[in-house]
Amino acid sequence: MQQRTILKALAVAIALTPAVAFTQSAKPTSATYITAEEVATVSALPGVDRTVRVVEIGNEHFAIGTIHRGASAPAGGAGRAAGAAAGGAAAGGAGRAAAAPAVRCGEIATAPASGGAAGMIAHDSQTEGYLITSGGGTLLTGGKIYNGTQTAPDAEVTTTLNGPSCNGMAYGDVVRKVVKTGDVIVIPAGVPHGWTDIGDHVDYLSFRPSGQTLTAGYVNPAIKK
């Protein structure tokens, strides 16, 4: 008798599980439209990485942003340009992260003697898509970061929307690709990336599907009705 009661209770729990899951992940029933004028308004704001909107798409969020990067020095300046460009970290977030003890990440081993790309960053779980809208430069992707520094999750989510990430020098199969207006790049989570040799500037839209990025329904105050 007791065994039958337990089995019935389990059956009821299993039957209810899909309904609960559906309630928590209800699918949206309408599309979101973002106008060229709204993108231009947000693009004109100060800063590097500006979020336009964050849309609920059911089981995760989808953040749309606009990013502007100024000219960077070639070769030796690559690390400095890539460090800021890859993560888009704001000064306030960097300060908070620097105050905490450094946590090592990436390959914790003796790095190769040469061939590294400085200032790379890899986001633990955030995939990014870029659409270059103006200007261009050299985008570095791939390889492995050796003896990197882990960003503080709270600072990174607040300032760059990419969640915990690993910063440092990448070695190995690093691809250096000159990108221009109209190009599209998809960078999966965990792939190191950074910028160098930016001419006058590079502007691009960012697309981030993630449960980590801001709160669904966020609208940049500059375009909020």
**Residue 112: phi, psi to the nearest 5?**
-55, 155
Does residue 4 have a pLDDT over 60? Answer: no
Query: Looking at 58-67, 84-93, 154-163, 180-189, which range is the least confident one?
Result: 84-93
Please give the pLDDT value at position 59: 86
Token pair belonging to 72: 């960077």
Distance CA(114)–CA(162), nearest Å, equals 29
Tokens of 102: 């450094």
Among residues 134, 105, 133, 110, the alpha carbon closest in space to that of 120 is found at 105
- List the alpha helices (DSSP H) in 44-139: 78-87, 91-99
Most confident of 84-88, 93-97, 110-114, 180-184: 180-184
Residue 90, pLDDT > 50, answer no
Each residue of 122-181: pLDDT tens digit? Answer: 999 899 999 999 999 999 999 999 999 998 665 544 445 788 899 999 999 999 999 999
Residue 54 has which token pair?
């964050």
Q: So where are the chain's domains?
A: 32-223
Strand stretches in 96-214, DSSP E: 104-105, 117-123, 128-135, 137-150, 165-179, 184-187, 193-196, 201-210
The overall average pLDDT reported for the chain is 79
What pLDDT is attached to residue 206? 96
Cα separation values, 201 from 18, 73, 136, 174, 186, Å: 49, 12, 7, 22, 20
**101 CB-contact burial (10 Å; exposed 0-12 / middle 13-18 / buried 19+):** exposed
Of 170 and 98, which is predicted with more confidence?
170
Give pLDDT tens digits for 107-123: 999 999 888 999 999 99
pLDDT confidence of residue 151: 84
Instruction: Please say whether the beta carbons of 139 and 185 come within 8 A.
Output: yes
Mean pLDDT of the region 82-110 = 57
Residue type at position 9: A
**Which H or E run contains 158?**
helix 153-159
pTM over 0.85: no
* CATH class held by domain 32-223: mainly beta
According to the model, what pLDDT value does residue 26 have? Answer: 73
Taking residues 188-211, what's their average pLDDT?
A: 95
Maximum Cα interatomic distance, the chain, rounded to a whole number of Å: 78
Whether residue 22 has pLDDT greater than 90: no
Do the Cβ atoms of 220 and 169 come closer than 8 Å?
no
Contact residues for 99 (Cβ-Cβ < 8 A; gap 6+): none
